[in-house]
Every structure is written in structure tokens, then in C-alpha cells.
Amino acid sequence: MPNRLTKARRAALPERRAARPEPAQSAQFYRQLAETIPHMAWAALPDGSTDFVNARVCEYTGRTHRQLIDSGWRAVVHPDDWERCRALWTKAFKKGQPYELEYRIRRRDGRYLWHLGSAMPLREGGRIVRWFGTSTDIENQKRAERLLEKARQALGTVVGARAEQLKSLDSRVRSWVENAPLMVWQSGVDKQCTYVNRPWLDFTGRDVKDELGVGWASRIHPDDLQRCLATYHAAFDAREPFEIEYRLLRHDGEYRWLVDRGVPVNDSERGFRGYIGSCVDVTERRATQFQQHDQQSRLRAFLDSMPAIAWIKDSRLRYLWISTSYARVHGKALGEMLGRDDFQIWPGPLAQHFRRDDEKALRANGPVQSVDTVPNPDGSKIRWMVVKFPVPDSTGALGVAGIGFDIATREHKFDGTGRLPEFPLDRLSARERQVLRLIVDGRTSAEVAGTLGLSPKSVDTYRSRLMAKLDIEDLPGLVKFALRHGLTTTR
């Protein structure tokens, strides 16, 4: 159902968007977790449209959050990489599969640097509800790979012209390979290792004689060995490039994750001569990915186990998400509510009440509080204390999020008599509530008296009485109370 906006409200929307209210609690948790990651992180809706980037992204690219969300990434991705990236992203989102790709991102100084982008979907009940991704700077790795390719070409030339061993390389190339910022190896036509460079030996802490032949394989983690050798032999027999990810034992006893890339070496006269390859330590990258996955799992477990219920609606006040506790309490699944508004779910009077509270939160551009009585699936009723607040949706327009606390459950727990303690507003008479609303809206005693048909002295008496009932000593405290309970739009 379209959102019923007045002209005044539509005119005020850009200003509210610019104000960027505090995000929903669930979104706030996502942001807090994402901001702890020392990498660029982002989140997207099920259709792939980006609706969140962390501060690291804005800091790195020099662009604002508003410039980057939705399709804003195109402005920072290298033009030569965009179509390839878009095709892979589209395929991943359609199939709901994690993906990983390399592409260049423009830094704030105008330079394009290589990054490794990865993303994975978050599912609830088999349905993708969010995407989470990171971008990691791999410029140094790519630079090393480019240098290695030059060395490989030089190696092939030297092998064909002068010798079969890497020791016969041109001294300048050999010097580079021996001091390269990555681990380099070479194997012959018999699949036996014939060379490893100094960084490899520094990593393993062993002599070169221990690594040659098949000695290097003894350092591979037992759980990875068979998979690694199978990939290596299959690529070797097919004379094709390969890439393997496995754990290798470092000199200090720690297994580190490596990405091992190998390419065949061919001589124009003698044909295939073996393989040359390089290894890059990617332990930190994997740890970041697993940490992100673990954080998402813990966050989801937290939201699913908290006693409160929570939900998020888009700018048309249609449900985007509900917590597991919401579904459990009300007997409604996300699939039943996704894309629907309150009038399609709840009885008319109750839906109208929810709509008024949603619109009150949008008008206030901040949190409002109310007490709602909602029916259970079994016909009983629950009294909820509800806090609602505006949040931007994927289009940048303001939607509404809410959190509800079961007052009866909470208060019965602490009330030994079995009776519900009075809610603060229940202490006031209808007339006192009228006086309260007018006072916190800035009316003088004379103005309140004129509106309600009372004498100014009677208004003063009502004001003193209601402040005593609420245990509030001054007008600022009264205004704060009214804002918390949704009695005024005064800010």
C-alpha cells in the first residue's frame, strides 16, 4: 500500500534523509561489527543493491556513504574491470552463491589499486536476507606476480638456451628471484622439486636439500596433503596452470595458509620443461573472512535469542525483516510478512494504530515510545512497550524500525502480588494528559486554559499534580518524558 504522505512531509523528506537518524538496532549492530574490521566492508539487500559501506570504504575512496550506496561503486571500480565484476556479481546474486574476484578500486588520490573482493549471503529459513562482503588490498601481491611473470619468461629463455637449473639464470634475474617478496619454486618434467628460493627456506626454516624432490610435501598439513597433490598432479599431466590453497608448516610450528599458483614452462625446441610457481601467505585474509562469518553467526544468534521482538519496514512501511522472536511470539514467518504492510496482516483498527505510530516516528525524526496491546495466535493478548524510530531503506528514503518488550512478562516477574504495576501514563487522568500535551508543546498556562476552557489557576493545579504523580521536578524533565512516550513531536 503506498505511503500516505502529505505535501509538507514529502518536502521535509530530503532534510530528514540528510539528518541521517540513528540506524535501527539491528543495523547498528551490523555497523559496529563491520567498523571493527580493518578492511573495506559492505552489505547489500537480497537483490544485490548496496545499502551499507563502512567508514574504511569512505576513507579509502574519498567518497561519502550516499555516493557509494546502490550503484555508486561503479564510480570507484576501474572501467576495464567493471563489466567483468558486474557479470560475476549478477551471477552470484542470482544463484545465491559466495564469490571472490580481483579488481581495481580508485583510491582517494586517483590511483587504481588491486583488491580482492569477496561476499557471502546470509540466509534465514533458506531465504537470502542480506549479503556481506569485504575488499582487501592485494596490490603488493599483484605487483609481485607481475614481477614473477617477467622472471618466468626470463627463466624459460635461459632454460632453453643455457641450462635446466635456475642457477644458470641471468645474475640480475636470479638476484631478484632469491630476494622476491614471495616464495618461488620450480619443478622438472618428473614432477620433482628442483628449486626453492630464499623466502621459501626462511619460511620453513629448513635446508634446501630437505625441500627438493618431494621433501616440500612433508610440510603440508595432513588434512590438505591428498587434495593438494591430486590438484598438482592433474594440472601437471594436463600441462595447465593451477592454483591450490593449503596449509604449510612454518619454522615456528604454526601452519599458515598459502595460495600456490603454478604455470608450465615450455621450450620452443625441447617442449615442456616443468613448472614454476609462487606462494603467497593468505592466512590473515582467511582469518578476516572467517571472523566476518563468525561475527554474522553470533549476531544472528543474539538477535534470535533476545527476549524482545524487533522488525524493520521500508519507506512504504512494508516489512523487510522480523526477528525470530517476533515470528515465535506472533506465529508469523518472514515469508508471510515480507513486502506486506500492517493492513495486509493485522485487523483494521490494530493496523491503523500501528500506522499512526509509524507516521509519528517519521514526523518526530527520532524514537517514539508507546504501549500496544496485540492479540496472540491463541486469542490471548500481550501488552508491549514499543519503541519505534526511522531508518533509511535501500533507496535512501526513511522507513521505520521497532523493538517491543513484553511488559506483562517483565513486570509479573518482579511483582509478587501478581498484579501489573501501573504504567507511568496510567497514573494521569484524561484531563491531566491533555494539560501535559499542551504544556510540553510550549503553551502558556493562559493558552492551555483558553484551549481547555479552564482557568489559568486550574491549569497550574493540574500541572503541579501531574508532575508530582510522575515524580518530575521541572519542565525540561516533563518534555523528555513526553518525547519518550510519544506524546509530542517537540524536539
Nearest-CA neighbor of 264 among 238, 228, 227, 231? 238
**Total residue length of the chain:** 491
> DSSP character for 146?
H
pLDDT at 455 over 60: yes
pLDDT at 413 over 60: no
Question: Residue 416 has what pLDDT?
Answer: 45
Query: Please, how many CA atoms are within 13 Å of residue 208, restricted to the half-sphere of its CB?
Result: 10
Residue pair 31/54 in contact (Cβ under 8 Å)? The answer is: yes
Question: Residue 331 has what pLDDT?
Answer: 79
* Residue 98 in grid coordinates: 559466495
Residue pair 212/196 in contact (Cβ under 8 Å)? The answer is: yes
Decide which of 250 and 141 is more confident.
250
Bridge partners (DSSP) of residue 220 are 248
CATH 3.30.450.20 boundaries in the chain: 36-137, 141-283, 306-414
Decide which of 416 and 301 is more confident.
301
Residue pair 152/177 in contact (Cβ under 8 Å)? The answer is: no
Three-state SS letters, 454-465: CCHHHHHHHHHH
Homologous superfamily in CATH for domain 306-414: PAS domain (3.30.450.20)
- Class for the domain spanning 141-283: alpha beta
* Residue 132 in grid coordinates: 556481506
Q: What's the whole-number average pLDDT of the chain?
A: 77
Reported as a pLDDT band with limits 50, 70 and 90, residue 17 is very low
**H or E segment to which residue 329 belongs:** helix 324-330
pLDDT at 318 over 90: yes
Reported as a pLDDT band with limits 50, 70 and 90, residue 179 is low
Decide which of 251 and 334 is more confident.
251
As a whole number, mean pLDDT of residues 334-350 equals: 87
Lowest mean pLDDT among 29-43, 343-357, 466-480: 29-43
Whole-model pTM?
A: 0.33
* Residue 209 in grid coordinates: 636439500
Residue pair 99/289 in contact (Cβ under 8 Å)? The answer is: no
Choose the most confident range, by mean pLDDT, from 13-17, 76-80, 95-99. Answer: 76-80
Question: Residue 106 has what pLDDT?
Answer: 92
Question: Residue 378 has what pLDDT?
Answer: 61
User: C-alpha 13: how far from its chain's center?
Assistant: 26
* Residue 424 in grid coordinates: 507511568
As a whole number, mean pLDDT of residues 374-395 equals: 77
Choose the most confident range, by mean pLDDT, from 148-162, 177-191, 453-467. Answer: 453-467
> DSSP character for 484?
H
What CATH number is given for 424-484 in this structure? 1.10.10.10
CA dihedral 236, 238, 243, 247 (to 10 degrees): -40
Start-to-end CA distance of the chain, whole Å, equals: 30
As a whole number, mean pLDDT of residues 372-390 equals: 76
pLDDT tens sequence across 116-157: 888 888 888 888 888 878 888 888 878 877 777 776 676 555
> DSSP character for 331?
T
Calpha distance 401→388 (Å, rounded): 6
Reported as a pLDDT band with limits 50, 70 and 90, residue 161 is very low
Q: Could you list the beta-strand ranges (E) of 25-126.
A: 40-44, 50-53, 99-106, 112-124
As a whole number, mean pLDDT of residues 190-218 equals: 87
Please state, for a pLDDT cut of 70, what percent of the chain lies above it.
Answer: 75
pLDDT at 210 over 80: yes
As a whole number, mean pLDDT of residues 435-457 equals: 86
Reported as a pLDDT band with limits 50, 70 and 90, residue 293 is low
Calpha distance 178→202 (Å, rounded): 11
Nearest-CA neighbor of 183 among 159, 219, 158? 219
Reported as a pLDDT band with limits 50, 70 and 90, residue 485 is low
Degrees, nearest 5: CA angle 132-61-85: 50
Question: Residue 466 has what pLDDT?
Answer: 85
Question: Residue 359 has what pLDDT?
Answer: 92
pLDDT at 42 over 70: yes
Nearest-CA neighbor of 225 among 243, 203, 247, 198? 247
CATH 1.10.10.10 boundaries in the chain: 424-484
Return all residues near 79 (Cβ < 8 A) that are at least 6 apart. none
Residue pair 436/448 in contact (Cβ under 8 Å)? The answer is: no
> DSSP character for 45?
-
Nearest-CA neighbor of 341 among 318, 312, 309, 365? 318
Calpha distance 206→200 (Å, rounded): 9
As a whole number, mean pLDDT of residues 384-393 equals: 86
Amino acid at 344: Q
Question: Residue 157 has what pLDDT?
Answer: 57
pLDDT at 34 over 70: no
**Complete DSSP assignment for 423-465:** PGGGGS-HHHHHHHHHHHTT--HHHHHHHHT--HHHHHHHHHH
Distance of CA 255 to CAs 210, 285, 287, Å?
18, 15, 13
The domain made up of 36-137 is a member of CATH 3.40.50.2000: no
- β-strands 127-137, 112-124 pairing: antiparallel
**H or E segment to which residue 216 belongs:** none
Lowest mean pLDDT among 28-37, 75-84, 112-121: 28-37
pLDDT at 244 over 50: yes
